[in-house]
Copies of this chain bind each other. A is one copy, B any other.
Amino acid sequence: MKEVSVRETVYNRPFIWQRADPYILRCEDGGCYFTASVPEYDRIILRYADTLTGLRDAEEKTVWVKHESGPQSIHIWAPELHRIDGCWYIYYAGGDVDDIWEIRPYVLRCAGDPMRDPWEELGPMLPADDDPFSFRAFSLDATVFSHRGDWYMVWAEKVGVGRQISNLYIARMASPTKLATVQVLLTTPDYDWERGEFWVNEGPALLRHDGKLFLTFSANTTGELYCMGMLWCDEDAELLDPANWTKLRHPVFRSDDEKEVHGPGHNSFVKAEDGVTDLCVYHARQYDKMVGNPLYDPNRHVYIMPVTFDQNGFPEFRHLPQEW
């Protein structure tokens, strides 16, 4: 671990250390799985515990290791675990050691116990037959969710010549490994807070509350400016019509110097033990001074906060003292 000077506050004590892009899935029996990017970006790890807090000290198992060369051989990022039609799937992104930014989304499947049984490679996520645009450039952070009988994927993909811009897209899925529809643009970096050295929207996560679907995402360059933005859509609306999604003008969660919470983002959502309270699981750093590329600083840690809702039913993401 790098030597860094950290000012500890009640707000920046990690739930899990040195894991980024955290994702927690709670099963119907209450048991919880955890996965995340590891600082080496070389493998996919899983933890399981009977309770969410049990994940802190749960044994971590490596369920998949990067290839030696070719696709999926470097930059293994942002795994998510999902259960679709009775099987387990992990969606993740990976690059190629010979072309390290050729990042694409890939899929693993496990028909048995995610912690003990083998994970089979299903290869790259495929666009719809008539979609010449999706997964053609740097694309990652795929998340999936079901809504009224259909599965949808939301992912980040870069566009442009020369320097590129990372947008978020949505499509309906034909199967766990293939899209049914062409891409629909959900959000592009529109505002100052999304546009630093890089213009980025990534890390989408879905939250349902009181008739609305909320889609949080992470914006800006990985580092101090990294923050969370949000879109929302009425649950009765057609999800593939971008006119039904409204983007909030300002970020919903960002760095706080006083509390020493830096570059928060790439979150996911999970219910608390009570089955009612929504928790936001995110990563952040405890300091803003980094040596070198923030992407290779290992000290993004995992935090959890309860989500509160305002009088309009919109989620609030507050800098709260950590319970751990």
**Residues of A at under 8 Å CB distance from B?**
132-133, 136-137, 159-163, 165, 182, 184-185, 188, 190-191, 195, 199, 241-243, 246-247, 249
Contact = CB atoms under 8 A, between A and B. Distances in A.
A247 B247 CA distance: 14
Given A132-B162, A133-B160, A243-B246, 6 more contacts: A132-B163, A136-B161, A136-B162, A159-B160, A161-B161, A184-B190
Contacts of A137: 160-161
8 contacts: A136-B162, A136-B163, A159-B165, A182-B195, A185-B188, A190-B243, A241-B249, A243-B246
Contacts of A199: 133
Nearest to A160: B159
Nearest to A242: B190
A241 to B, nearest CB: 7
Contact of A249 (B161, B195, B243): B243
A117 to B, nearest CB: 38
Contacts of A191: 241
A184 B199 CA distance: 12
A104 to B, nearest CB: 12
Contacts of A132: 162-163
Contacts of A242: 190
- The winner among A133, A184, A241 for most chain B CB atoms within 10 A is A133
A242 B249 CA distance: 10
Contacts of A190: 184-185, 241-243
A130 to B, nearest CB: 10
Contacts of A165: 133, 159
A99 to B, nearest CB: 13
Contacts of A163: 132-133, 136
A155 to B, nearest CB: 15
Given A190-B243, A243-B190, A159 B159 contact: yes
Contacts of A160: 133, 136-137, 159-160
A136 B162 CA distance: 8
A206 B315 CA distance: 38
A249 to B, nearest CB: 6
Nearest to A190: B242
Nearest to A246: B243
A243 B162 CA distance: 27
